[in-house]
Each structure stands twice: as C-alpha cells, then as structure tokens.
Structure 1
Amino acid sequence: MLLEFAIENYRSIRDEQRLSLVAAPVQDLEETHVVEAPDGERVLRAAVVYGPNASGKSNLLAAAAAMRRFVLRSARRTRGDAIEEAEPFRLDAASASRPTVFEALFVASGVRYQYGFSVTRERVEAEWLYAFPKRRGRLLFARERDGDTETYEFGESLTGQKTLYRDATRPNALFLSTAVQLNSEALTPVFDWFQRTLVYADSARPRAFQSDRHTLWHCATEAGRRRVVRLLQAADVGIEDVVVDTQSMALPVPSGERDPSLPESQYTLHERTRVRFVHEGTPGAEPFEFGDESLGTRRLFGLAGRLLDVLEAGRVLIADELGSSLHPLILRAIVGLFVDPEVNPKGAQLVFATHETNLLDQDFLRRDQFWLTEKGRDGATSLTPLFDFKPRKGVEPLEKNYLKGRYGALPLTRFPRAIAGED
C-alpha cells in the first residue's frame, strides 16, 4: 500500500514534489474509495494526475519506476557503473551538481515504512529507512556521505550482520539492496514491496503492452485466458476469444559466427509467442493476427494481465497515459475496478496520468484524488492537489472549471496566431 511518494531534482522536477494517497478529512465516497491501512490510516484507492503536455506528469510517474529499478538492480551493478537513475534538473547550474532524491512511504507486511535515498551519477550520497509500528517511528538504518567519508547509523530493531552488509555495500549501490542480497530477513519486506507490490506501466510507449508477459502468463492457463477474454468482451471491442500459441522460428546467424561448442539448436530455432483474436460473428473464420487489431485493442490486451495481477494481489499500479488509445468510457471502467470494494477487496491502488477530463466528476472520484502539474517560467514542474482549491462538495463542476482554467494546469494554445506567423 502506497501512502506518499516524493521526488526532488529529477528531470523537470527541481524542487521536492510530494504525491499523497492519504485521504483528506472529508467523507466523500468514503465506503468505496477509501481503504484503511493496518495502522488505521485512511488511504485512497486511486489518484489521477492532470496537466498540459510537457508539464512533468510522465516525469513524476517515471521517478517511481526509477526508484524501483535502482532498488532492484543496484546490488548487481559493478563498481564504477554510472547511476542512470540520477537525472538532475538541467535548466540551472546549481541543480546539475545536486543529487536526485527519491522517497516513498508505504505499508509492507502490515508495517509502515519511510525509505529514501539521494544519488548522483557516481554514488549514493544518503540512504535512510524508518519503520512505524503502531505509528511510532524507529530508525532501522541511515547512511550519509560527506566528501570521501561515509557514516552509518543502525537502529536497535535492525537485526542481522550489519557490519557485513555495510562493508559489502559499494559506493554506487544501496545498502538495502546489498543487505537483502546477503539474506537480511529484517529488510526483505521492504525490498519485496518494491519488487512485488509496486508495478509500473508506461502505456504511452509506441509498443507498450504488445507482448506483455503478465497477460501472456494469464493466457497460459484456461482459467486465466478466460478472464482476459471476459475483460476484452466487457470493453465491447468485438473479441470472442484469444488464441495464444508458440512458434519455432529460425535465427539468422551466419555459420561462421556460431560457437561450435554450442548445439546447433541454439542457433537454428527460438520460441516466439503468437497472439490472435477470434471476432464475434465469424464462426470458423481464421483468427485475426495481433497486428491486425487496433492500437486500442492491443493495448487493452496487454494491460489486461497487469490489471488482473494488481487486483488479485492488492498491488500498486503506476501508469502513465493510462487512457492512451482507449475510449474515455473504457478508461472510466478501468478506474472503476479499483474503487469497487467487491472487485478490489485487497485494496489495490492505481496512480495514473491522463488527459481524459470525464473523470473529473464528483460522483465518480473524490475531490482529493485529483492532482495537477504545471511548469513555471523556469521550466520546473510543480505538483498541486486540486483539493487545495477547496472545491465545493457535490456541487462544483470539476471538469467544466478545469477546462475553463480555474485550477490552472492547462496549455496556453496559440495555434491560429502561430500559423499566421504572428508573434
């Protein structure tokens, strides 16, 4: 369960920006849209980010993916490898020399944690982890570098071979990742949250979801395939069934480039999954190839597996441009899965960016579930909760007011003048 995510000095985000899923002290749609954390915190099941193109929505969500990636991979990198996740704000000289900072507050195995780190391209500058059993903060560890000197502080509640973990941690790796690689039981729940609970999906990429392993894994069983098919049928895209099989394909490797110590089969064949769709009203007809379908159908197919995974296990899905190539009502239906306690009994969460304004509806989402991104004249992204504008409960037309510019976060278009050549 995600409570908050904060990022500083990452791409277009210069100053710290913090996205919170802690529910505001209002009772809007309380029984359906809010879930209670183990420590009693009221947490939102979904949050949506709006803003003009190039305002930083994608950077905000990509930062969560970058944090996850560094947690999972840092211990496997070799000494001297650059930390690619450090991408400082480039529009002023001061930011270029400062570290990128990531922090997340979340619940794992029934305990609230606060974990973060700051990194440059060369090394980890700081790292910290606190646990809050019964909302009482306890330090597990803190690490800080001052020039060439690095200091560690360990809390009493951190068990295991702390000295071994510390000595094995390279300058460009995280202590958390290294300790878990060395079988730290105390830190495994935190690492596992990033590995198993936090899921990122960039649906804005041109080939996103076209061969998504989550959906293919579901289609490997009859029950899973039927669930995927039912989701496609619910979206009214005309799909009656899905056919998934494996093809053996020849590899174009010249004989002179082959390693004679390897068997011939290593070069002559490889496996490729083939996905085809059976359409309604075509009994006995040859199924359509994956590439014959619309981009929206292909993306919905790829997204299906992730949706099923996240809802079944109570995970957190971070998705950029979730509604890309999808009808607004399909996007609304997808969001509706997360705010339906019967469909989502384990409290799965959805955090996403979109331009579809039909979700700005107080009968559908709460006032505290909307976030807005803008860029200032200095090129830096700011993130603001729509709730700060104090919209009136139940009566304020959020979509209309947003499109009229009452909350900001809109593009200032000048197309007619630009085309006419006016300044």
Structure 2
Amino acid sequence: MLIEFSVSNFQSIAEQQTLSMLPAKGSSYLLETGNPYYPNVLRIGGLFGANGSGKTSFLNAIQTFQNIVVNSAKYTAGDKIPVTPFKLDESLRGSPTSFEIIFKGLVSSDVWRYGITLDGERVHKEWLYQRTADTGRERKTFVRNGQTISATKSLGLSKALLERVTGKNQLLLSKLEQFSGEDEIPAMVWIKLFLRPVLSSSNWFQSVTGRKLLTEQHSSQITELLKSIGMNFESIRLKERSVVENSPEETAIMTGDKHIYSHSSGGMAYYLELEFERRDRSGSSQPIYFHEESLGTRALFGIAGILVDVIRMGMTIVVDELNQSFHPEFLRLIVELFRSPEANFDSAQLIFSAHDTSVMSILERDELWITEKQPDGATHLYSLAELGTAKAGGPRRRGVFGKHYLENKYGGLPEIDLIRAVKAMKSLESSDAQEA
C-alpha cells in the first residue's frame, strides 16, 4: 500500500510536493496496514487542476521513479539517468532531483521508506528504512552518500562489495536485487511489481485485456465488467494471429488497423483480431470490429484488463486522465469498485487525475488533491483536508466539491481571459484580410 510519495525539482515541480494517503479524522473508506505507526491509509486519491498545472508532472514523477529503480542496475558507464529538473530557476537547473516513497510491504505489516537524490549523471544520496510492525520504530537498512555506503548486516552482502559493484549512476537497491539470487528484496518487490503507473493510452493496454479474454479464468470477469458499464454486446470473438516480425505481412496487419498488437516471441509477432457480436434490427448476430468502436469503448476495453489485475493482486494503480474518452459514470464506477470491500478484497489503491468535476462530489476531502501553477511556474499540490475542517472555514468531510471547485473556492482553476482571446481572433482576421 502506498502511504506517501514526495518529489522535488522534477519537471514543473520545484520545491518538495507530497501526496499523502494518510486519512483525515472521520474518513470513511480506509485500508488497514497492521502497522501501529500508520494504522490506516486511503483507498482513493484524485488529482484535479487546470491544464498545465502539474498533475501529469507529479504522476510522471511516480513513473520515472519506478523506471529508475527497476532499470538502473542495467545502466552502463555514461548512461544518463532520465530526470528533468525544474527549468524556471537557474539554481535548480543544475541541482539534483529527489524522490521519496513510504509504503507497506507485502508479506508483513512492516513499512518501508525509500528515497533517492540524483541528477542525470549520478546518484548523490540513497536511503532505505524499515518501520517494524511489532514496535513501530524505524530502523536503518542502508544509507548511501555518493559511493560510500552505511548498511546493516541484514543486507547479506559486504559493504565493500556493494561499493565496488554499484556504479555512480546505479541504485544500490537495484544492485541488491541483481546480486540477491533467489532471495527477494521486499522493498524492491513492491516498487517493481505492485506500483502500477498507467500514464498513456496505448494499444498495449488493449492487448492486456485481449490476452485475458483468451484465458477461461479471466474471460468471464472481463465480459461481465464490460457489460456492467453499459457496453452492449452479445459476446466477444477473439482470434490470435502470428506473423514473422518485420515482414510484409506484419506491415500489412499494422497498417490495416484491424488488429491489436499483443507481444513478440522468438522472432514472431502476435496480434489479436477482436470483434463484438451485436444484434441487428432483425435479431441476427452482426460482428463489429474493434477498430469500428468509439474511442470511449476502446478506452474502457483497455482499462478493464488492468483493473482486474490491480484489484486481484492488491496493487496501487496510478492513472493520468482516467476519464479520458469515456462517460463520467464509468469513473464513478471505478471509484466505487476500489471503495467496496467486497470488490476490492486485497487492498488495492487508485490514484488518478481527471478533469471531470462531477466525480469530486463523491470523494471525501482527504481524497481530493488540487494542483495549482504558481506565478513562477512551479506546481503546488495540496489536499482539501489541508484547508481545515468546516468549523475552521474549510470544506466538510463530504460536499458539493465539484460545484465549489468551479466557483474557485479551492483554487486550481485555469485563468481564462475571454477578451484577450477575442482580440487575438480579431487580429487574425485582420491579418488574413491584409494577406488577401
């Protein structure tokens, strides 16, 4: 379970910004951690704000952090670390980026705090602490300053060896996994497998759902989920086709737009041909190719398979623009699925960004986060719970947050200048007349 994620000096983020899944007093939809220091966390976190306010930058930070942790052991000397500092401050352009994550592990109720400070060339600092469930006290696992490592014996590898094999652009946590053999590194397992960023629409997501439909175990789950959100079809027909990679036949398939790319193996590429069987006016069955469906239908299909994975495994999913291309009622359904103890039986969490303000009114104040662009271009992230309780002039635990947000009671709205836009269009008209 994710407890907190913090980032500084990354893309539109200058000073440290933190998303916390710790609940405010009176929160309704909680997960139990079993750790006395952090007994409960929220199931849902929703980010709202104007275009360009930094929602995507913050979620990108989570994805970039995971990418570096997972892949840094493969970096060779000279490989760049993929971080982009805040560019609107001269002092920050040459300064390192920092990430820190706090989360509950998988097997026990221990809580881990892991952080890194790095730039494009090297890792400046790295630290890992463990807060045990029995005492709630935090213990150091390792701390790294440059190439100097201070570690406990529980790592199983000598400090001298770790200093020798860990490159300046590699993370110690990644190298530990590389040298651990069959022994799992609990912190690495969660970051690598149970943190699930989904930040761009892609045929890959559609292929995840498609491949699940090929298995009897998941086919009925996917079908029922799609029908529960109003997708009207009798059945789904799916064929898998294999062709030689980079062949003329594969080129024809890719340009034909009737197949979904699935995967490659042994020089062969695999594609899925998908049809929805629908009834025509006479009652006969009529196949509709997947590419003939609306963008909304394709988006719903793509996310369905991932949702089944996330909820079944108890992952933390991070989605940018969750409501893109489909009806807001589906976003409400997703939120309710994660809230329901019956549906969300293994402590999965949902963190998302959206522009649809209607869903704000079914969230509680500590589940709602606003991104606001400051005058200097930096992103400020804050929760409605930080505005105080209703007695102190802040929002109630529940309320018409979408309406109040649009009334600019919480900030985060874009600054719109209609007169300026009209003048710009009129000057364009004058320019066109002169050219004519």
Fold match by TM threshold 0.5: yes
Query: 1:226 is aligned with what amino acid?
Result: S
The 2-side partners of 1:106 and 1:168 are apart by 27
Offset from partner CA, 1:258-305 (integer Å, 9 cap, x none): xxxxxxx988x6432222222255765342222111111111111011
Offset from partner CA, 1:182-224 (integer Å, 9 cap, x none): 1167761111101211001124x4xx25653432332121231
CA spacing shift, 1:211–1:346, aligned 2, 3 Å: closer
What is the aligned counterpart of 1:92 among 62, 72, 89?
89
- 1:210-359 matches, within 5 Å, as 211-249=205-243, 253=247, 270-281=269-280, 285-359=285-359
Give the superposition deviation at 1:159.
3.2
Secondary structure, aligned partner of 2:98: strand
Give the superposition deviation at 1:416.
4.3
Partner of 1:413: 416
Offset from partner CA, 1:348-399 (integer Å, 9 cap, x none): 00000001111222xx322111000011111100101111223343674322
- 1:84-233 matches, within 5 Å, as 84=82, 86-108=83-105, 109-110=107-108, 111-134=110-133, 135-145=136-146, 150-183=147-180, 188-203=185-200, 205=201, 208-209=202-203, 211-233=205-227
Offset from partner CA, 1:45-90 (integer Å, 9 cap, x none): 0110010000000010111011111111110121111111x11001
Partner of 1:35: 31
The 1-side partners of 2:75 and 2:168 are apart by 11
The 2-side partners of 1:102 and 1:177 are apart by 15
The 2-side partners of 1:326 and 1:9 are apart by 33
> Contact between 2:328 and 2:356, CA under 8 Å: does it hold in 1?
yes
Partner of 2:19: 19
> Contact between 1:88 and 1:100, CA under 8 Å: does it hold in 2?
yes
Query: 1:188 is aligned with what amino acid?
Result: I
What is the aligned counterpart of 2:407 among 394, 404, 409?
404
The 2-side partners of 1:198 and 1:17 are apart by 19
CA spacing shift, 1:115–1:44, aligned 2, 3 Å: same
RMSD: 2.3
Query: 1:231 is aligned with what amino acid?
Result: L
Gaps of 5+ in 1: 255-264
Query: 1:375 is aligned with what amino acid?
Result: K
CA spacing shift, 1:250–1:174, aligned 2, 3 Å: closer
> Contact between 2:206 and 2:298, CA under 8 Å: does it hold in 1?
no
Give the TM-score of the pair, scaled to structure 2: 0.86
Query: 2:122 is aligned with what amino acid?
Result: R
Runs of 4 or more, structure 1, over 4 Å off, are 184-187, 250-254, 280-284
> Contact between 1:4 and 1:18, CA under 8 Å: does it hold in 2?
yes
The 2-side partners of 1:82 and 1:169 are apart by 15
Gaps of 5+ in 2: 249-264, 389-393, 428-436
CA spacing shift, 1:140–1:392, aligned 2, 3 Å: same
Deviates more, 1:172-181 or 1:394-403: 394-403
Deviates more, 1:243-252 or 1:371-380: 243-252
1:70 aligns with 2:71: no
Which structure: greater helix fraction?
A: 2
Offset from partner CA, 1:293-344 (integer Å, 9 cap, x none): 1111111111011100111111100000000011111111111100011111
The 1-side partners of 2:219 and 2:376 are apart by 50
> Contact between 1:371 and 1:386, CA under 8 Å: does it hold in 2?
yes
Partner of 2:48: 50
Query: 2:414 is aligned with what amino acid?
Result: P
Give the TM-score of the pair, scaled to structure 1: 0.88
Partner of 1:374: 372
Secondary structure, aligned partner of 1:196: helix
> Contact between 1:228 and 1:305, CA under 8 Å: does it hold in 2?
yes
Query: 1:366 is aligned with what amino acid?
Result: E
The 1-side partners of 2:90 and 2:381 are apart by 22
The 2-side partners of 1:271 and 1:237 are apart by 26
